[in-house]
Structure 1
């Protein structure tokens, strides 16, 4: 089918566009920045540009991955987040309905589920984050606008019947964390595969699966993250003594980390549970924390991308 992919020049887009093409889809890349997989250079906030792209390219489905992200808070005013993340999503939804598209994927974020209290580690145990978590109290303009866009998705589904799946992705960015620098980027990414990260390849694969399943499922929201080894019963000890919990599941981890000069997390404040995606969507991330330990044990390349110098194409 013909698929309009927004964010086609971005980090996810550069993996997702060729994956969709290999699956037999005709990909129409739409991005504010030029790129290898982008045919339409425009902003989703530009309603006329969106309408023109639909009229000229006649997409049958939409994968909406374009957005301003959390690091953009330092570069853009709040209004820009509203224009791109909220108005842009509404533009695509309404034009998709008018054009007769039968499915729409919205790339959202687990970030909108993390309140200030969770981020600051208040309480005596790690927060267990699944799709039932409530209330949702986003802590910044990024989360607020992504949550607003999700609610627009639900509204359009209920009013118009458009099949829409919302994919709340964990972390998969390649660059350094923009707020935490106590560990090396590779060490932090490895730790996060325990509870809040997935690879960009797995994120792209989830979108491909969701695109195929959307008409059957109608509407749903899925957390995407590497499968965590932990259970809810571990939550209190994860906040108090994460290395002890990790040692029960991975007895070799401390020694393998020491050889690399890495540190395990002393405490874990949240765990993303991707079980709903596995049960209902039929997707499970291929890469997990065990793959990191395998790489450390054998000397193979690490199973995730790390690029301290990565810059979003829109800033290049």
Structure 2
């Protein structure tokens, strides 16, 4: 197939593009290579893709409507995976407009291009952050998600609502994936594992929020990408079980689905740090701090719906995933 992947120089997008190319798909990567974090890492990911047969690249942002429309017209994709977004919960407190520009205006441009391009299936990144102030664990796609606690979360919930509208009005098949704390080689420098590794190796203290008492459903990159590919290959139709008298947020009488994609095994942050210390062979000096605004105490994905519909089965424990990340980090940065 011809698949357009936005955010192709990003953490998930680059690995997904690699996997799609390996199975024989053509991929147009679309990315603006912005400086939210070190663009050199994005360039390094991109450099791994550019020699591969079937890969093309467009350097532009989602907000650039003309550039996006050109990419659709020139490449004529059959399916689209939208991973480009302004990421990060904490940064959304400092620069909320960046989230509206990329995650709302940019996503509208993607939806319009898919609608007019006759796209067979749009898979897009949502986030576990949509669960916000919810406390019932594990988080289920059947639960209401009407209490976001960050602007980032609000824009991701908005994406789900916008996608449903296009599925309903125009018959565009859409699937939203609520990602749960993705980690692994080539990961994002603003994420905890990257920050902790860099500081521990440099002999600097690490900031541990909520005194390390919160837990996260850490999900290894290979498991995430396998789930994205399985989802991409399954085009949703109207849910025959959908009851408008008792609606569920997870499906619709339109060709629309939302799934959690996580490890289904929450790990306390202090345990995560302990495994990292073992892999690095060094102890961390921890600066224990209160919980950050916009953060939530725990995340835990109920992935039964994704398992049932696609066969998704995450299999990488943190002991293996962190060891692989550390090996990559040491090689990439010469540590």
TM-score, normalised relative to structure 2: 0.68
Question: Which residue number corresponds to residue 249 of structure 1?
Answer: none
How far 1:197 moved relative to its partner? 1.6
What is the rounded CA distance, in whole Å, between the counterparts of 1:303 and 1:201 in structure 2? 14
Take 2:147 and 2:95, find their aligned partners in 1: how far apart are those partners? Answer: 20
Match of 1:87 in 2: 105
Cα distance in structure 1, aligned partners of 2:124 and 2:101: 16
Aligned counterpart for 1:144 among listed residues 147, 154, 162: 154
Structure 2: gaps (5+ residues): 34-42, 50-55, 197-205, 239-254, 285-296, 331-335
For 2:166 and 2:153, the matched residues in 1 are separated by: 20
Q: Deviations over 1:191-236 (max 9, x none)?
A: 95xx51211111111111111112467321110111338xxxxxxx
Q: Tell me the secondary structure at the aligned position of residue 108 of structure 1.
A: strand
Contact map agreement 1:2 1:59 (CA 8 A) in 2: yes
Q: Report the CA distance between 1:271 and its aligned residue.
A: 2.3
Equivalent positions of 1:193-272 (< 5 A) are 196-215=217-236, 218-228=255-265, 260=278, 269-272=298-301
Equivalent residue, structure 1, for 2:74: 56
RMSD of aligned residue pairs (Cα, Å): 3.6
SS of aligned partner of 1:28: strand
Question: Per-residue deviation at 1:305?
Answer: 2.6
Give the number of aligned pairs: 260
Give the match for residue 169 of structure 1. 179
8 Å contact from structure 2 (residues 181, 219) kept in 1: yes
Does structure 2 retain, via aligned residues, the 8 Å contact 1:277–1:283?
A: yes
| CA pair 89-259 structure 1, distance change in 2 beyond 3 A | closer
C-alpha contact 1:8 1:30 (8 A) present in aligned 2 = yes
SS state of the match for residue 106, structure 1? strand
Q: Which residue of 2 aligns with 1:274?
A: 303
> Residue 129 of structure 1 aligns to a residue in which SS?
coil
Shift of 1:139: 0.8
Give the structure 1 partner of residue 16 of structure 2: 16
Matches within 5 A, 1:80-119: 80-115=98-133, 118=135
Q: What is the alpha-carbon distance in structure 1 between the residues aligned to residue 223 and residue 122 of structure 2? A: 19
Structure 1: gaps of 5 or more residues: 119-125, 230-237, 243-252, 263-267, 296-300, 311-316
Q: Which residue of 1 aligns with 2:38?
A: none
| Per-residue deviation, 1:42 | 0.4
Pairwise CA distance, 1:60: 1.1
Equivalent in the alignment of 1:154: 164
**Contact kept in structure 1, 2:230 and 2:312, CA below 8 Å:** yes
Q: Deviations over 1:82-112 (max 9, x none)?
A: 1100111111111111111111001111012
Q: TM-score, normalised by structure 1?
A: 0.71
Matched, 1:182 2:200: no
Tell me: CA distance 1:74–1:149, structure 2 relative to 1, closer, same or farther (3 Å): closer
**Alignment check: 8 A CA contact 2:93 2:151 kept:** no
* Deviations 1:116-151 (CA, angstroms, capped at 9, x unpaired): x74xxxxxxx63311122243111111111111111
SS of the aligned residue for 1:107 comes to strand
Runs of 4+ in 1 over 4 A off after TM superposition: 256-259, 306-310
Question: Secondary structure, in 3 states, of the residue corresponding to 2:148?
Answer: coil
Residue 122 (structure 1) aligns with: none
- Match of 1:305? 325
SS of 1:214's equivalent in the other structure is coil
Once residues 79 and 48 of structure 1 are traced to their aligned partners in structure 2, the CA distance between those partners, rounded to angstroms, is 21
